[in-house]
């Protein structure tokens, strides 16, 4: 096992309610065996007390050990480090066996996958311009804060009258603002509202009528979180950097469906090496938000093309 961090420049700042970034800081794991190399990528996230140094410290403890996916689930907690290692193991197994991950799992992947394209936080006028620039996108995700969210959403809706909309405040709203905004969100034909209030205040949702389906993101990491979300959220967002890899994401997808949740598959701002394994979950989800590589100045060779809101598979041998 080898691992290293990279800072991948973005073509423009990516702004959400809790700040802006100009690069995607990732950790890549490579596993070599039998002349093959399996790769996985993760995005350490400060919201979950992670950074590249902490992730590499977790991986360093395991260096030199013979590992399989079951051991990795036990030895590392859910999070970015386990995600990179788990996905590298899936990739290595596929390359050693000659059987692709989708085939091994019995997942029928479509020729291309519709994904949300993100309008980042800015003035309403600038966000409308972003939406217009997305052209034929059928699903748009709008990043908002608590300052002028309805004005921002109205501006995007005016610029993209036919698109389906996801609104994501990233925990920036209060329960009172949520109650105030919901009727207008319904009028604006918002399809999904993602983590509007802080995860720690999720209990407030039990007494709020969801005029628009509400999706748990920061409030939902693994399968263990699902029971507490019943009656509060209608949809859960599965991100491999939260679940700790594809292995747990598959379990979470199964259990979320069994408990009656809708499913969204999301990602961090990252290269296509992070997106490729998530696409297997996205192919089975109600919403896919997998445009994380769209802002890369330069994606990885063989990366996944994204055209008009459709995500296409990577070149053969890229991952899985």
pLDDT digits (tens, 9 = 90+) for 168-194: 999 999 999 999 999 999 999 999 999
Distance CA 172, CA 93 (A): 41
Identify whether residues 181 and 68 lie together within a single domain. Answer: no
Identify whether residues 113 and 178 lie together within a single domain. Answer: yes
Q: Say what the pLDDT of residue 105 is.
A: 96
The mean pLDDT of 209-230, rounded to a whole number, is 98
Sheet of 19-33, strand order: 2-16, 19-33, 36-42
User: What is the band of 120 on the pLDDT scale with cuts at 50, 70, 90?
Assistant: very high
pLDDT tens-digit series, residues 225-264: 999 999 999 999 999 999 999 999 999 999 999 999 999 9
User: What is the band of 199 on the pLDDT scale with cuts at 50, 70, 90?
Assistant: very high
> Is residue 162 one of the residues assigned to a domain?
yes
Identify whether residues 85 and 116 lie together within a single domain. Answer: no
Identify whether residues 92 and 109 lie together within a single domain. Answer: no
Q: Say what the pLDDT of residue 114 is.
A: 96
> Is residue 320 one of the residues assigned to a domain?
no
> Is residue 97 one of the residues assigned to a domain?
yes
Identify whether residues 95 and 173 lie together within a single domain. Answer: no
Q: Say what the pLDDT of residue 231 is.
A: 97
DSSP type of residue 128: H
Q: Say what the pLDDT of residue 136 is.
A: 85
**pLDDT > 90? residue 49:** yes
Tokens matching residue 186? 């319904």
Distance CA 68, CA 82 (A): 12
Identify whether residues 76 and 49 lie together within a single domain. Answer: yes
What residues make up the domain containing 182?
105-311
**pLDDT > 90? residue 18:** no
Q: Is the dihedral of CA 230, 231, 232, 234 positive or negative?
A: positive
Nearest to 84 by CA among 56, 105, 109: 56
Kindly compute the dihedral angle of the four CA atoms of residues 179, 180, 186, 190, in this order, to the nearest 10 degrees. -80
Angle formed at CA 192 by CA 259 and CA 83, multiple of 5 degrees: 65
Identify whether residues 11 and 65 lie together within a single domain. Answer: yes
19-33 and 36-42: which strand pairing?
antiparallel
Question: Could you give the number of structural domains in the chain?
Answer: 2
Instruction: Show which of 88, 104, 120 is a domain's final residue.
Output: 104
Residues in the chain: 320
Q: Say what the pLDDT of residue 16 is.
A: 92
Identify whether residues 128 and 75 lie together within a single domain. Answer: no
Q: Say what the pLDDT of residue 308 is.
A: 86
Q: Say what the pLDDT of residue 263 is.
A: 98
Q: Say what the pLDDT of residue 56 is.
A: 98
User: What is the band of 66 on the pLDDT scale with cuts at 50, 70, 90?
Assistant: confident
Distance CA 179, CA 156 (A): 21
> Is residue 316 one of the residues assigned to a domain?
no
Q: Say what the pLDDT of residue 252 is.
A: 98
Report the CATH number at residue 55.
3.30.390.10
> Is residue 60 one of the residues assigned to a domain?
yes
Instruction: Show which of 104, 137, 170 is a domain's final residue.
Output: 104
**pLDDT > 90? residue 290:** yes
**Catalytic residue positions?**
143, 239
CA distances from 81 to 45, 78, 113 (A): 11, 8, 27
**pLDDT > 90? residue 17:** no
For a pLDDT cut of 70, what percent of the chain falls above it? 100
**pLDDT > 90? residue 20:** no
For a pLDDT cut of 90, what percent of the chain falls above it? 94
**pLDDT > 90? residue 135:** no
Q: Say what the pLDDT of residue 192 is.
A: 98
């Amino acid at each position: 096992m080898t691992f290293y961090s990279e800072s991948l420049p973005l073509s423009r700042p990516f702004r959400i309610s809790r700040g802006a970034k100009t690069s995607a800081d990732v950790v890549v794991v490579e596993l070599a065996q039998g002349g093959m190399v399996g790769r996985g990528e993760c995005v350490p996230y400060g919201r979950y007390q992670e950074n590249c140094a902490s992730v590499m410290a977790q991986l360093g403890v395991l260096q030199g050990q013979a590992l399989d996916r079951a051991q990795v689930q036990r030895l590392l907690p859910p999070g970015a480090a386990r995600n990179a290692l788990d996905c590298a193991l899936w990739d290595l197994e596929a390359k050693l066996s000659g059987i692709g991950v989708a085939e091994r799992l019995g997942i029928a992947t479509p020729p291309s996958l519709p994904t949300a394209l993100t309008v980042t936080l800015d003035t309403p006028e600038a966000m409308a311009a972003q939406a217009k620039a997305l052209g034929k996108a059928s699903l748009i995700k709008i990043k908002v804060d608590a300052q002028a969210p309805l004005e921002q959403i109205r501006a995007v809706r005016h610029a993209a009258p036919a698109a389906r909309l996801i609104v994501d405040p990233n925990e920036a709203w209060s329960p009172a603002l949520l109650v105030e905004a919901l009727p207008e969100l319904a009028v604006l034909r918002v399809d999904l509202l993602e983590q509007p209030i802080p995860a720690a205040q999720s209990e407030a949702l039990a007494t709020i009528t969801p005029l628009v389906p509400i999706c748990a993101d920061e409030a939902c990491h693994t399968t263990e979180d699902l029971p507490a979300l019943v009656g509060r959220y209608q949809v859960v967002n599965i991100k491999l950097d939260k679940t700790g890899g594809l292995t747990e994401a598959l379990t979470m997808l199964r259990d979320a469906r069994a408990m009656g949740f809708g499913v969204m598959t999301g990602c961090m701002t990252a290269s296509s090496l992070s997106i490729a394994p998530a696409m297997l979950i996205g192919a089975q989800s109600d919403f896919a938000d997998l445009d994380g590589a769209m802002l890369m100045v330069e994606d990885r060779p063989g990366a996944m093309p994204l055209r008009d809101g459709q995500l296409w598979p990577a070149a053969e041998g890229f991952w899985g």
